[in-house]
Amino acid sequence: MTRSGRRPGESGTREAVLAAARHGFGTAGFSGTTIRGIARDAGVDPALVHRFFGSKEQLFAAAMELPVDLAAVVPALLAAGPDGLGERVARTFLTAWDATPGQGPMLAMLRSAVSDPAAAASFRDFATRVVLGPLATAASPDRPELRASLAAGQLLGLAVARYVVRLEPLASTPAEALARDAGPLLDHCLRGELGS
Amino acid sequence: MTRSGRRPGESGTREAVLAAARHGFGTAGFSGTTIRGIARDAGVDPALVHRFFGSKEQLFAAAMELPVDLAAVVPALLAAGPDGLGERVARTFLTAWDATPGQGPMLAMLRSAVSDPAAAASFRDFATRVVLGPLATAASPDRPELRASLAAGQLLGLAVARYVVRLEPLASTPAEALARDAGPLLDHCLRGELGS
């Protein structure tokens, strides 16, 4: 089989895969959803899903219209070493949110995570396994899971305060300045001395 | 007019005031709502609202079924001095949430703040003016508004991560231990050196 260019019907197939992915991630969570199952629901071959979207993480990002490639972003954040890790995480997070006008799809994901337990489970799985677990494990050997959930709480709180509740002046502080303020908080979660 | 005890019809009046308060705070926000307006909507005298519920802050807490008297809690948190302030704030916050089985009314308030802009505005006003503004102003003369919004983000993030998304192990960590972990983060928001 040779790789082909975009053909008639391909965009319909992509949409069918994305719809099946949104349904799967939304009901079975990130861990409970497989490329194979999504392909079956969309009526296509799993190899086609891989060819169109890459990994399960990349498919999730596409389904959620995330403006960053998380599979590439997390290793890049870690590669620069532990100094300033929290600030880089905060900057990447805030820049991704700010880059989407109105924060449409990401805000929709956050709203459904808050209102719908299945969406919350999907979000929880994804955030912990793909993003925060690897970050925390790389940052400290001391209770990485607790650190990951504390750091996730930080980022959730920043997103809710900035884009949902719009608390001022946090909401209108430029991402770059806010990343400098929030960086030490994330560093404390990832590498600081925990009180408990 | 003499102060009277509980009479037939009083509980109906209380309910009418609470309903008018929920509607007012939910549509016009905390600042945009007055005891006078709530009394008018409930068809009672403003003096009766004051007598039943006390201040506007206390009426808000009653309408939202908050399990703590915020008007008393904030001065008490500050009276013990700056050392350990973050941990005391975190402990008070988490204990109040944990004290309500299922976190019903507080979770409902959080969910409506995330889904409904008017509820978000009400929550924002209340949290900033009544709780976080006084805390931040007392804790540091350096940009108290930014500190208040960062601290609010902390508490929002803790609530969303613990009670909504239920990120583990944060969700099942006892409130006391989690307050020790989150305390330094709140202290950093309230009194630490900001990066920006």
- The mean pLDDT of chain A is 83
Mean pLDDT of all residues in B8-21: 84
Q: Which residue of B has its CA nearest to A110?
A: B114
Over residues A111-135, the pLDDT tens digits come to 777 777 777 887 777 777 777 778 7
Rg (CA), chain A: 18
User: CB-CB: which of A111, A124, A196 is closest to B166?
Assistant: A124
Over residues B51-63, the pLDDT tens digits come to 999 988 888 888 8
Q: What's residue B46's pLDDT? A: 95
Contacts (Cβ under 8 Å, ≥6 apart) of B102: none
CA gap B78, B1 in Å, rounded = 38
Confirm whether B10-63 and B70-191 share one CATH topology: no
Question: Is B165 close to A115, i.e. CB distance below 8 A?
Answer: no
Share of chain B above pLDDT 70, in %: 91
DSSP B141: S
Q: What's residue B2's pLDDT? A: 43
Question: Is A181 close to B158, i.e. CB distance below 8 A?
Answer: no
- Report the topology of domain B70-191: Tetracycline Repressor; domain 2 (1.10.357)
Whether residue B169 is preceded by a cis peptide bond, meaning omega within 30 degrees of 0, is yes
- The mean pLDDT of chain B is 83
Residue A2: pLDDT over 50: no
Q: Is A175 within 8 Å of A98 (Cβ atoms)? A: yes
Residue A149: pLDDT over 60: yes
Residue type, B17: V
Chain B residues whose CB is inside 8 A of the A182 CB are 150, 195
Question: Is A181 close to B194, i.e. CB distance below 8 A?
Answer: yes
Tell me which of B111 and A163 has the higher pLDDT: A163
CA gap A33, A122 in Å, rounded = 9
Length of chain A: 196
Chain A residues whose CB is inside 8 A of the B162 CB are 153
Q: What's residue B182's pLDDT? A: 94
Over residues A37-79, the pLDDT tens digits come to 999 999 999 999 999 999 888 888 888 777 677 667 888 888 8
Domain regions of chain A by residue span: 10-63, 70-191
For an interface test with B, the pick among A109, A150, A154, A155 (most B C-beta atoms closer than 10 Å) comes out as A150
Q: Is B119 within 8 Å of B173 (Cβ atoms)? A: no
Question: Is B120 close to A173, i.e. CB distance below 8 A?
Answer: no
Q: What's residue B1's pLDDT? A: 42
B79 CB-contact burial (10 Å; exposed 0-12 / middle 13-18 / buried 19+): exposed
- Report the topology of domain B10-63: Arc Repressor Mutant, subunit A (1.10.10)
A105–chain B nearest CA distance, Å: 14
Measured over the CA atoms of residue A178, residue A179, residue A184 and residue A188, the dihedral's sign is positive
Calculate the CA dihedral of residues B189, B87, B93, B174 and round it to 10 degrees.
Answer: 130
Residue A102: pLDDT over 60: yes
Question: Is B165 close to A128, i.e. CB distance below 8 A?
Answer: no
CA gap A131, A136 in Å, rounded = 9
Mean pLDDT of all residues in A177-181: 95
A75 CB-contact burial (10 Å; exposed 0-12 / middle 13-18 / buried 19+): exposed
Q: What's residue B104's pLDDT? A: 64
